[in-house]
Amino acid sequence: MTTIAFIGLGNMGGPMAANLAKAGHQVTGFDLSEDAKARLVAAGGHAVATVAEAVTGADVVVSMLPAGKHVRSVYTGPDGVIANAPKGALLIDSSTIDVDSARAVAEAAKAAGMLMVDAPVSGGVGGAAAGTLTFMVGGEAEAFERAKPILSAMGKNIIHAGGAGTGQAAKICNNMILGISMVAVSEAFVLAERLGLDAQKLFDISSTSSGQCWSLTSYCPVPGPVATSPANRDYQPGFAAQMMLKDLKLAQEAAQSSGAATPLGAQAAALYAMFCNSGHADVDFSGIVKYLRGDA
């Protein structure tokens, strides 16, 4: 049994913390929301009133927060994790945040003599509840080895991406591929409609041809060909357009600060911003096909 402090008990963090408690760990959680804390208590954990209280005496700290500014303040603030956790504690941030913030917080942890990994996830709320998340882990090998058994209670694929920040880099690179490919597949289905080509026929042909990709074969943006895709339930998420936009913006920030040319990533970010701004932020990201068709 490990003593684990869990900071950020929202849609993702709540079920992740519950899985740690289910695996027999002693989980002490903190969130700004009283409801979120009550859910942890119902799942077998303890809830406390401050970050400092949560991390005092913890072997491991896990966080699942909205964005880089929250992670910076929770870790490096005077009442935060680094100032209050035991020196030997392992720090794991699973939030999806900008690479610069991830590296800055990892530096601060290192300066305080603590091991830290960035470990963002793929798999969504369903994966968090089922304990089947994929973790992309950035940090030193020693930190990765210590994090692995903890992450295994919340996920099924745990991959060491490299040094600090590379977990976040993997997450935004992957989701940039996903955003661009979803737009590409959607454009193809809209063009097919205009040309009188049946959607199922395009699927049958492209899914066994060079246009094959996950956005087509696992998450087809039009109803019919893939029974499990959100297109069959009026584009209820799934993965909301605003989450895709967040990740595409992070990719653009990283491209700018590193000097990488990502013109299609920029176009995808612009399209998802227009889609979200037109009242579709909560729609599944594959709903972009309706926008491209002109009926959203």
Closest CA relative to residue 154, chosen from 140, 137, 170: 137
Q: Specify the residue for token string 């094959």.
A: 212
What's the DSSP call for residue 231? G
> Given 37, 171, 246, 290, which residue is catalytic?
171
What's the DSSP call for residue 3? E
Residues that bind ligand NAD (CB under 6 A): 7-13, 30-33, 36, 64-66, 70, 74, 95-96, 121, 124-125, 243, 246
Which of 96/101 has CB closer to ligand NAD?
Answer: 96
CA distance 19 to 23: 6
Which of 51/226 has CB closer to ligand NAD?
Answer: 51
Output the six-digit token pair for 205. Answer: 């042909």
CB of 136 to ligand NAD, least distance (A): 11
Which of 30/275 has CB closer to ligand NAD?
Answer: 30
CB of 295 to ligand NAD, least distance (A): 26
CB of 74 to ligand NAD, least distance (A): 5
Residue nearest to ligand NAD (CB): 10
Rg (CA), the chain: 20
CB of 196 to ligand NAD, least distance (A): 37
Output the six-digit token pair for 70. Answer: 């929250």
Closest CA relative to residue 282, chosen from 218, 239, 232: 239
Which of 178/289 has CB closer to ligand NAD?
Answer: 178
Which of 199/240 has CB closer to ligand NAD?
Answer: 240
CA distance 237 to 243: 10
CB of 154 to ligand NAD, least distance (A): 12
Q: Note if 249 is an active site residue.
A: no
Query: Vertex 93, ends 88 and 99: CA angle to 5°?
Result: 120
Q: Which residues lie below 8 Å from residue 94, measured CB to CB, with a gap of 6+?
A: 12, 13, 16, 62, 63, 64, 119, 120, 121, 135
CA distance 89 to 74: 15
Give the residue numbers annotated as catalytic, written as ranges.
171
